[in-house]
Structure 1
Amino acid sequence: MGSILHPNGVAFRVWAPNADRVSVIGSFNNWNGGASPMASESNGFWYLDIPQLQAGAEYKYLIATPGKQIERIDPYAREVTHSVGNAVVHDPSFDWQGDDFAIAPWNELIIYELHVGTFNDQNNDDTSGKFSSISARLAYLKKLGINAIQVMPIGEFAGERSWGYNPAHIFSVEKAYGGPLAFKQFIKQAHSHGIAVILDVVYNHFGPSDLDLWQFDGWSEGDRGGIYFYNDDRSHTPWGETRPDYGREEVRQYIVDNILMWLGEYHIDGLRFDCTQFIRTVNGFEDRNLPDGWSLLQRINLEISQRFPGKITIAEDLQNNKWVTKDIGAGGAGFGCQWDPMFVHPIRRAVITTVDEQRSLHAVGDAITYRYNDDAFDRVIYSESHDEVANGQARVPQEISPNNPKDWYAQKRSTLAAAMIFTAPGIPMLFQGQEFLESGWFRDTVPVDWEQRHEFFGIVRLYRDLIRLRRNLDGFSRGLSGQFTQVFHLNENQKMIAFHRWEQGGEKDDVVVVANFANEPRYNYILGLPAEGFWALRFNSDWQGYSNIFGNFPSTDTRAESGGYDNFPWHGLVSIGPYSVLIFSR
Structure 2
Amino acid sequence: MAILREIGAHFSPDKQGTVFTVWAPNAEKVEVLLHKPEPIQVPLQREAMGYWTGLSEFATPGTRYTFTLDDETERPDPASQFQPTTVHEASEVIDHTSFNWTDRNWKGLPLEQYIIYELHVGTFSEEGTFEGVISKLTELQDLGVNAIEIMPVAQFAGSRNWGYDGVYPFATQNSYGGPEGLKKLVNACHEAGIAVVLDVVYNHMGPEGNYLNDFGPYFTDKYNTPWGNALNFDDAHSDHVRNFFIQNALMWLRDFHIDALRLDAVHAIYDTGARHFLQELKEQTSLLGKQLGREFILIAESDQSDVRLLNPTEKGGYGLDAQWFDDYHHAIHTLVTGELEGYYEDFGKPEHLQKALQHTFVYNGLYSEHRKRTIGSDATDVPAKQFVVCSQNHDQVGNRMLGERLTELVSFEMLKTVAGLILLSPYTPMLFMGEEYGEKNPFLYFVSHTDEELVEAVRKGRKEEFKYFAHKGEFPDPQSEETFNRSKLTHGYTQNEQQNQLRNFYKELINLRKTAPALAKPDKPHMHVQMDAEQMVLHLVHVGAEPSLHCLFNLSQEEREVTLDSSQGQSWRAIINSAESAWGGKAEKESANITSTITVQPEAMLVLQKVK
Q: What's the TM-score bracket when you normalise by the shorter of the two chains?
A: 0.7 to 0.9
Q: In structure 1, the residue corresponding to 2:553 is in which secondary structure?
A: strand
Aligned match of 2:501: 458
1:365 is paired with a residue whose SS is: helix
Aligned to 2:391: 383
Aligned to 2:177: 178
d(CA) in 2 for partners of 1:370, 1:454: 42
Partners of 1:9 and 1:41 in 2: CA distance: 20
1:322-471 to 2 correspondences below 5 Å: 322-353=307-338, 360-371=349-360, 372=379, 373-392=381-400, 394-400=404-410, 410-439=411-440, 441-443=442-444, 444=446, 445=484, 446-455=487-496, 456-471=499-514
CA pair 546-293 structure 1, distance change in 2 beyond 3 A: farther
Contact 1:469 1:480 in 2 (8 A): no
Aligned to 1:569: none
- Cα distance change on mapping 1:531 and 1:130 into 2, 3 Å: farther
Q: CA deviation at 1:233?
A: 3.5
- Residue 543 of structure 1 aligns with which residue? 580
Q: Distance in 2 between matches of 1:38 and 1:30?
A: 19
Pairwise CA distance, 1:267: 0.6
Cα–Cα, structure 1 residues 359 and 553, in superposed 2: closer, same or farther, change >3 Å? farther
Identify if the C-alpha distance between structure 1 residues 557 and 366 changes in structure 2 by more than 3 Å, giving closer, same or farther: farther
SS in 1 for 2:126: coil
2:558 corresponds in structure 1 to 520
Displacement of 1:533 in angstroms is 3.4
- Report the alpha carbon displacement of residue 214 of structure 1 after superposing the two structures with TM: 2.5
**Post-superposition shift, 1:427?**
0.3
Letter in 2 for 1:327: P
Identical counterparts, % of pairs: 29
Matched, 1:97 2:121: no
Secondary structure of the residue aligned to 2:72 is strand
Once the 2 structures are TM-superposed, how far is the Cα of residue 185 of structure 1 from its aligned partner?
0.5
| Greater fraction helix | 2
Counterpart for residue 18 of structure 1: 26
What is the deviation of 1:452? 3.8
Offset of residue 257 of structure 1: 0.3
Q: Which whole-Å CA distance do the structure 1 matches of 2:521 and 2:245 have between them?
A: 37
- 1:32-431 superposed matches below 5 A: 35-64=41-70, 69-81=72-84, 82-93=86-97, 94-122=99-127, 129-216=128-215, 226-230=216-220, 232-234=221-223, 236-247=224-235, 248-280=238-270, 290-292=271-273, 295-308=276-289, 310-353=295-338, 360-371=349-360, 372=379, 373-392=381-400, 394-400=404-410, 410-431=411-432
User: Take 1:517 and 1:45, find their aligned partners in 2: how far apart are those partners?
Assistant: 60
Q: Deviations over 1:488-510 (max 9, x none)?
A: 5432222122121132x333xx1
Which whole-Å CA distance do the structure 2 matches of 1:478 and 1:458 have between them?
24
Q: Is the 8 A contact 2:30 2:68 kept in 1?
A: yes
Distance apart, 1:417 and its partner CA = 1.1
Q: Which of 537, 546, 562 does residue 506 from structure 1 map onto? A: 546
**Do the aligned partners of 1:5 and 1:54 also contact (CA within 8 Å) in 2?**
yes
Q: Is the Cα–Cα contact under 8 Å of residues 535 and 556 in structure 2 kept in the other structure?
A: yes
CA contact (8 A) 1:23 1:38 kept: yes
Tell me how far apart the structure 2 counterparts of residues 204 and 108 of structure 1 sit (CA, whole Å). 29
CA distance in 1, matches of 2:529, 2:265: 35
Q: Compute the displacement of 1:334 (Å).
A: 1.3
Q: CA deviation at 1:320?
A: 1.0
Amino acid at match of 1:202: V
Change (3 A) 1:353 1:49: same
Q: Give the AA of the match of 1:335.
A: L
Contact 1:99/1:191 (8 A) holds in 2: no
CA contact (8 A) 2:233 2:269 kept: no
SS at match of 2:576: strand
More displaced stretch, 304-313 vs 159-168: 304-313
Q: SS of the residue aligned with 2:186?
A: helix
Measured on the aligned residues, the alpha-carbon RMSD in Å equals 2.2
AA aligned opposite 1:471? K
- Report if the CA contact (8 A) 2:103-2:190 is conserved: no
Segment of structure 1 superposing worse, 39-48 or 167-176:
39-48
- The answer to whether the Cα contact below 8 Å between 1:556 and 1:574 also exists between their aligned partners in 2 is no
Supply the distance in 2 between the matched residues of 1:381 and 1:91 (Cα, whole angstroms): 38
Q: For residues 182 and 307 of structure 1, what CA distance do their matches in structure 2 show?
A: 24
Structure 1: stretches of 5+ with no match in the other structure? 123-128, 217-225, 281-289, 401-409, 561-571
- Counterpart of 1:582, as a letter, is L
Report whether the alignment pairs 1:574 with 2:579.
Answer: no
User: Does the 8 A contact of 2:34 with 2:65 survive in 1?
Assistant: yes
Greater shift in the superposed pair: 267-276 or 247-256: 247-256
Q: Distance in 1 between matches of 2:134 and 2:500?
A: 21
Q: Does 1:30 align with 2:38?
A: yes
TM-score in terms of structure 1 length: 0.85
Distance in structure 2 (CA, Å) of the matches to 1:291 and 1:90 = 36
In structure 2, the partner of 1:287 is none
* Residues 17-38 of structure 1 deviation map (CA, whole Å, 9 limit, x = unaligned): 1111111112237345xx4222
Secondary structure of 2:202's partner?
coil
SS at match of 2:489: coil
- How far apart are the structure 2 equivalents of 1:114 and 1:246? 33
Shift of 1:103: 2.6
Tell me, what secondary structure is at the counterpart of 2:314? helix
CA distance, structure 2, for counterparts of residue 117 and residue 292 of structure 1:
38
Q: Aligned partners of 2:601 and 2:121: how far apart in 1?
A: 38
1:324: how far off? 1.2
2:576–2:607 contact (8 Å) kept in structure 1: yes
| Displacement of 1:167 | 1.2
- Secondary structure of 1:377's partner? helix
Please identify, of 493-502 and 527-536, the stretch whose mean Cα deviation from structure 2 is larger.
527-536
